A and B are shown apart, each in its own frame.
Chain A
Amino acid sequence: NAGVTQTPKFQVLKTGQSMTLQCAQDMNHEYMSWYRQDPGMGLRLIHYSVGAGITDQGEVPNGYNVSRSTTEDFPLRLLSAAPSQTSVYFCASSYSDRPTYNEQFFGPGTRLTVL
């Protein structure tokens, strides 16, 4: 198994540009999520999904969209990039969000810089 994969690894955008961060997992996990990691702030949840067709907002959802058309993929879209979105983005997945099945596995991250 490849586990959780993310592309690209690095990206530089100009303010106002849009882009999609890709996330895929091959473990047949129902639960997927996106976090951002900022110095001094730790990791914070952006959006999550408990299954195909179901998404919900996390702690810091503004400026981001998600969709979940398949179990495997959970892309994160930046609609109009802002310098405040400069961060490292991590995708995570687990078999379920319920206790005893919820060990979470993280991808390698996407380092995004918005100029």
Chain B
Amino acid sequence: KQEVTQIPAALSVPEGENLVLNCSFTDSAIYNLQWFRQDPGKGLTSLLLIQSSQREQTSGRLNASLDKSSGRSTLYIAASQPGDSATYLCAAQAGTALIFGKGTTLSVSS
């Protein structure tokens, strides 16, 4: 059974710092790995999707990588801003369902 783990559960950084969020999964037979952002009381916003044949995807200050062989994905946020404060979720798709991690709650202080 696929399990997805995100470490750390919470992270606090000062504005301007570069940071990395980690996601690990137990079964390397995945279709894709998707990163989401969730603001308090809100829905999930898709940030990046990495297909199983890809190694990384970039969008603005965000860069996500995927290493299927080691069962790991990272989300790199450059030059963090207070507006980046949110919970970040990763989800692995194997078959029809997304299997979610429990998220990393990021707080960026000004």
A contacts, CB < 8 Å to B: 31, 33, 35, 40-45, 48, 50, 56, 58-59, 90, 92, 97-100, 102-109, 111
Given the known inter-chain contacts A50-B96, A97-B96, please indicate yes or no for A103 contacting B46, CB distance below 8 A: yes
In the complex, the answer to whether B51 meets A45 with C-beta atoms within 8 Å is no
In the complex, the answer to whether A104 meets B34 with C-beta atoms within 8 Å is yes
B7 on the interface (CB 8 Å rule)? no
In the complex, the answer to whether A43 meets B89 with C-beta atoms within 8 Å is yes
B43's partner among A56, A102, A106 (CB-CB below 8 A) is A106
Q: Chain A nearest CB: distance from B99 CB in Å? A: 8
Given the known inter-chain contacts A42-B100, A43-B100, please indicate yes or no for A103 contacting B34, CB distance below 8 A: yes
Q: Chain A nearest CB: distance from B55 CB in Å? A: 15
Q: Contact residue range for chain B?
A: 20 to 34
In the complex, the answer to whether B49 meets A103 with C-beta atoms within 8 Å is yes
Report the Cα distance A54→B49, complex, angstroms.
Answer: 26
B61 on the interface (CB 8 Å rule)? no
In the complex, the answer to whether A99 meets B31 with C-beta atoms within 8 Å is yes
In the complex, the answer to whether A90 meets B44 with C-beta atoms within 8 Å is yes
Report the Cα distance A100→B93, complex, angstroms.
Answer: 11
Q: Inside 8 A of A50's CB, which chain B residues have their CB? A: 96
In the complex, the answer to whether B96 meets A48 with C-beta atoms within 8 Å is yes
A99's partner among B52, B101, B103 (CB-CB below 8 A) is B52
A107's partner among B43, B52, B89, B98 (CB-CB below 8 A) is B43
Report the Cα distance A102→B42, complex, angstroms.
Answer: 22
In the complex, the answer to whether B97 meets A48 with C-beta atoms within 8 Å is yes
Q: Chain A nearest CB: distance from B12 CB in Å? A: 20
Q: Chain A nearest CB: distance from B17 CB in Å? A: 27
In the complex, the answer to whether B51 meets A99 with C-beta atoms within 8 Å is yes
Q: Inside 8 A of B42's CB, which chain A residues have their CB? A: 108-109
